Structure 1
Amino acid sequence: MINITFDATWWLVLVFITDLTIRIAAVIIVPRNRRPTAAMAWLLAIYFIPLIGVFLFLLIGNPRLPRKRRKKQEQINGYIRETSEHLDFGTLRPHAPAWFTSLVTLNRNLGAMPLAGDNGARLISDYQQSLDAMAEGIRTAERYVHVEFYILQTDAATDNFFAALEEVAARGVTVRVLLDHWANRGKPYYKQTLKRLTAMGAEWHLMLPVQPFKGKYQRPDLRNHRKLLVIDGTVAFMGSQNVTDSTYNLKKNIKRGLHWVDLMVRVEGPVVASVNAVFLSDWYSETDEVLSDEIDLFSVRSGPGDLDCQIIPSGPGFEFQNNLKLFAGLLYAAQRKIIVVSPYFVPDEALLLAITTACQRGIEVQLFVSEEGDQALVYHAQRSYYEALLRAGVQIWMYQRPYILHSKSMTIDDETAIIGSSNMDMRSFGLNMEVSMLVRGEEFVRDMREVEQGYRDLSRELTLAEWEKQPLRSTVLDNLARLTSALQ
């Protein structure tokens, strides 16, 4: 009888071979179809903390939606492109710059609806007024209300919103609701919200549910971050605000006195069909239900304004990073002034290059961020870019605590703007499903500039001299957070 024993030397050899195999496999697997910064971050994690790094890579290393969902998105994009190719979406403003037309074409090729003319838009910058304006709009509904929000909570601040839904549902209006699963589960009033939706007779579904025992699973930190409301296909709301109290009802926020500051836009005109198309595509993704027979998506009518608008959806269901490409294109197109408002500004190399190059071209560039952070990793990752931005000539305005400036917008020169749900960070570019609206019109940009001035009045400017006095411990934290931000 032969006895085989493993002494310490054999165990060391086995550990060495296993470790070497993991490292070689990581070099082959990790960089494939991944941005160099993300690949490098994952390789560093796997090399320095192998067990944890491999576990995290297996858990969240795939930044794309499951193949079935991506196939649905491709079908939706094809349907929208084919059926809207020759439709009239209003009269466009004359004399569009060539760069603007090329960006519209880019968006269209990546899955956006056509550029629509004859639209009216009204900005709403007051948090409670926005919730009440949406409730007022809901009460005018005659056929349907489509509600899609990253976070949806029934509480004292949103009671009017939910009461409006209950009123229209009671008189036979169809109420369809989508809310992100992971963002809402475990949050205050989650169960109460679902019960209230069920009691009113709303058709509601969770977006991107992580329910493996029900056969529903994807990377758990993929989110549907969109915020939109459509009423009868004639009026829509979209922007950065969730349907919840301005503290998000979280004890840690209430203890720190934090309140969110947001910006929504109410739109009328042909572009409402584009907002509705985003909702219907997400509804189809979650339910397999096609509503095109019930809703004539392309039956549009002129609004009370003269704005050209294009809706750009983005996210892991698309092949390319639609929002990043649009943002970078606008930064390079600017000739005089760029104002960016983003609560989470963690750019990739392309966006950082675009914004610093704009300064070097003599463009005035301003960035609005929050002085206070609500997410430690993102807050420190964002700070790691301040020195490069300040040295390039970017003016950084810090919205003073205890408020979180949560608006997401950009204005370019005097005629072009973007508003929507997308932050300028790697999460919004690669992991979140977002929606943005590109607008051409001097009157809209003037309104945006008034909102920006209001932010400026409540902000202080960060200078390079002040930043250079940062303690070493802050620099270390910022740099470490910057590395983790690339894990996609």
Structure 2
Amino acid sequence: MADYLIWGLIILLIINTLAAIFTVFREPRPVSTIWAWLLVLILLPGFGFIIYYFVGRKLSSQNIFRIKNQEVYGMTGLKAKYLDSDQKHKEMAKFPKEVQKMIRLLYNSDHSIRTDNNQVQIFTDGQEKIDQLVKDIYAAKDSVHVQYYILTDDETGIKLVDALVDRAEAGLEVKLLTDAIGSRLLSKKSIRRMQAAGVQFESFFSKSLLLIVNFRLNWRNHRKIVVIDGFIGYVGGFNIADEYVGKGPLGLWRDTHLRIQGDAVKTLQSRFMIDWFASKKASPKDFDREYFPEPQVEGTTPMQIVSSGPDEESDQIKMGYLQMIHMAEKHIYIQSPYFIPDEAVFEAIQLAATSGVEVHIMIPFKPDHPFVYRASEYYAKQLLQNGVRIHKYREDSFLHAKTICVDGKVASVGTANFDIRSFALNFEVNAFIYDEEVVGKLEAIFEEDMKVSINADKEHFAKQTLWKKFRQSFSRLFSPIL
């Protein structure tokens, strides 16, 4: 009897292994991701396939964004203004050659038009950001379009809910798009209240029967976009909840967000509309109004709004990060709460540091996701060997900013972390900025952050316990699927 059980177990393990190999090789993936999923499927027979079915499948083959014609989404006027007859950007000679190359890269990969007529305001304090946002919404005259990964109706979130209700009751068009997982704590009571006032509410990858049949569980819309009257746009790292104004268990919250006026707002509006209709299952024929008015300001900040997500084969924001790292000659400043680079990004940072570029990477002092944080520590520790300087932001706070600045010439601020999830699994949006004055402000903020950060050098990591070092190495094995 025992022999039959042993042979039965061996046969089941063989079948499980063959099924695992077949499953992970069905779709093209990075080698590191293949090995990570093989490890899960083989070490967790049966149960591993359940995990894979919910969070491991690719999305790019599915037609999620059925409406992609940007001619419909207000891009015609921007193309006429900024592109020539060959569909190439005008006035490129005013930029350094490496910046010209980057602009072309982001346009060719994401059709992101470089706009020059922009004004930018930087927020690093959550309370200041939410106060200005609510003020702008109450001042709206025509439309308010809001998209957040996390929106809760706690003390902070209810301020936004109240503002949206007020504008909807005043007869404005108010659209609210949230992520089904990220905003799962937004109560039905608040949703019903907003809908009763006239707010149009949609949930990206709806949470209907979420825990049972939602096979898109792993693909989250991590974008944070607000567009008010087509004139004012917001994009960056802050979500809407008490913790983002420093009232959560992690203490003070350090993040970076942008308030934009100018032509770039049209590209944010376009991105919002594409996401909205992906959730609402509508068509461009539903447009019965003007969403892309001409800016009321004169600005001098060139920028591109770039989106990426698992519906695409190319990782547009990651390519932008790579181009910035490769173009660096003097210094690179990176801030990210989750630092789990893939092989290409890791080697690019190694190459930059080894070639003499001063590279600074800032991560939180403490974790909000321990498993992910230990993997971040592992990669940070490895880069110390190449001369990269690692900083852990102040002990009484949490760093959530997603920024990179290079040589005082180019910066990126947005929703994408320096991790594989942001590169390949989440829907993200970033602003790439080519204004030395704005970039200088962002670099000055980073340098101020360094003054209150801990220098995580080799001695810092050497003092860590063996258990912590083991968790770092173990977590790293699953980094491609975290």
Q: TM-score, normalised by structure 2?
A: 0.91
Which residue does the alignment assign to 1:472? 466
Which residue does the alignment assign to 2:182? 183
Q: Distance in 1 between matches of 2:114 and 2:289?
A: 21
- Which 5+ residue runs of structure 2 have no aligned equivalent? 84-89
SS of the counterpart of 1:223? coil
Query: Given that residues 238 and 244 in structure 2 are in contact (C-alpha distance below 8 angstroms), is that contact kept between their aligned partners in structure 1?
Result: no
Q: Structure 1 residue 16 and structure 2 residue 22: aligned?
A: no
Q: Distance in 2 between matches of 1:164 and 1:82?
A: 29
Q: CA deviation at 1:450?
A: 2.6
Question: Which of 349, 371, 376 is equivalent to 1:377?
Answer: 371
Question: Which of 230, 249, 255 is equivalent to 2:227?
Answer: 230
Q: CA deviation at 1:467?
A: 1.5
Which residue does the alignment assign to 1:266? 259
What are the residue-to-residue correspondences of 1:435-474 with 2, within 5 Å?
435-474=429-468
Q: Deviation digits for residues 219-268 of structure 1, max 9, x if unmatched?
A: 31211111111011111011000011126899xx53xx534222111101
Q: Structure 1 residue 403 and structure 2 residue 371: aligned?
A: no
Which residue does the alignment assign to 2:318? 324
Which residue does the alignment assign to 1:48? 43
Which residue does the alignment assign to 2:80? 87
Which residue does the alignment assign to 2:340? 346
Q: Distance in 2 between matches of 1:289 and 1:330?
A: 37
Q: CA deviation at 1:110?
A: 2.5
SS of the counterpart of 1:372? coil
SS of the counterpart of 1:438? strand
Q: Distance in 2 between matches of 1:302 and 1:170?
A: 26
Question: Which of 278, 282, 289 is equivalent to 2:282?
Answer: 289
Q: CA deviation at 1:469?
A: 2.3
Which residue does the alignment assign to 1:57? 52
Task: Summarize the Cα distance change of 1:38–1:84 in structure 2 as closer, same or farther, 3 Å threshold.
Answer: farther
Query: Given that residues 344 and 424 in structure 1 are in contact (C-alpha distance below 8 angstroms), is that contact kept between their aligned partners in structure 2?
Result: yes
The one-letter code sitting in structure 1 at the alignment partner of 2:103 is V
Task: Summarize the Cα distance change of 1:274–1:366 in structure 2 as closer, same or farther, 3 Å threshold.
Answer: same
SS of the counterpart of 2:282? coil
SS of the counterpart of 1:116? coil
What are the residue-to-residue correspondences of 1:207-226 with 2, within 5 Å?
207-212=204-209, 217-226=214-223
Which residue does the alignment assign to 1:312? 306
Which stretch of structure 1 is more off in the superposition, 16-25 or 463-472?
16-25
SS of the counterpart of 2:120? strand
Q: Deviation digits for residues 87-135 of structure 1, max 9, x if unmatched?
A: 2149857521233222222222332431111111010111101001101
Query: Given that residues 418 and 436 in structure 1 are in contact (C-alpha distance below 8 angstroms), is that contact kept between their aligned partners in structure 2?
Result: yes
Question: Which of 341, 346, 359 is equivalent to 2:353?
Answer: 359
Q: Distance in 1 between matches of 2:363 and 2:211?
A: 40
Q: Distance in 2 between matches of 1:61 and 1:213?
A: 16
Q: Distance in 1 between matches of 2:277 and 2:260?
A: 24
Question: How many residue pairs end up in the alignment?
Answer: 474
SS of the counterpart of 2:112? coil
Query: Given that residues 54 and 214 in structure 2 are in contact (C-alpha distance below 8 angstroms), is that contact kept between their aligned partners in structure 1?
Result: no
Q: Distance in 2 between matches of 1:426 and 1:52?
A: 23
Q: Distance in 1 between matches of 2:112 and 2:72?
A: 11
Q: CA deviation at 1:287?
A: 0.5
Which residue does the alignment assign to 2:87? none
Which residue does the alignment assign to 1:486? 480
Q: CA deviation at 1:465?
A: 2.0
Query: Given that residues 417 and 439 in structure 1 are in contact (C-alpha distance below 8 angstroms), is that contact kept between their aligned partners in structure 2?
Result: yes
Q: Distance in 2 between matches of 1:261 and 1:145?
A: 26
Q: Structure 1 residue 174 and structure 2 residue 173: aligned?
A: yes
SS of the counterpart of 1:147? strand
Query: Given that residues 127 and 245 in structure 2 are in contact (C-alpha distance below 8 angstroms), is that contact kept between their aligned partners in structure 1?
Result: no
Q: Distance in 1 between matches of 2:379 and 2:91?
A: 39
Which residue does the alignment assign to 2:154? 155
Query: Given that residues 81 and 113 in structure 1 are in contact (C-alpha distance below 8 angstroms), is that contact kept between their aligned partners in structure 2?
Result: no
Task: Summarize the Cα distance change of 1:357–1:331 in structure 2 as closer, same or farther, 3 Å threshold.
Answer: same
Which residue does the alignment assign to 2:117? 118
Q: Distance in 2 between matches of 1:213 and 1:361?
A: 49
The one-letter code sitting in structure 2 at the alignment partner of 1:288 is K
Q: CA deviation at 1:297?
A: 5.1
Q: CA deviation at 1:398?
A: 0.9
Q: Distance in 2 between matches of 1:170 and 1:85?
A: 33
Task: Summarize the Cα distance change of 1:379–1:9 in structure 2 as closer, same or farther, 3 Å threshold.
Answer: same
Query: CA-atom RMSD, angstroms?
Result: 2.6
Task: Summarize the Cα distance change of 1:302–1:102 in structure 2 as closer, same or farther, 3 Å threshold.
Answer: farther
Which stretch of structure 1 is more off in the superposition, 198-207 or 428-437?
198-207
- Which 5+ residue runs of structure 1 have no aligned equivalent? 1-6
Aligned-pair identity (%)? 26
Query: Given that residues 112 and 313 in structure 1 are in contact (C-alpha distance below 8 angstroms), is that contact kept between their aligned partners in structure 2?
Result: no
Q: Deviation digits for residues 49-82 of structure 1, max 9, x if unmatched?
A: 3233232222222032671315x26x34686698
SS of the counterpart of 2:101? helix
Q: Distance in 2 between matches of 1:60 and 1:82?
A: 34
Q: Distance in 1 between matches of 2:5 and 2:378?
A: 42
Which residue does the alignment assign to 1:243? 240
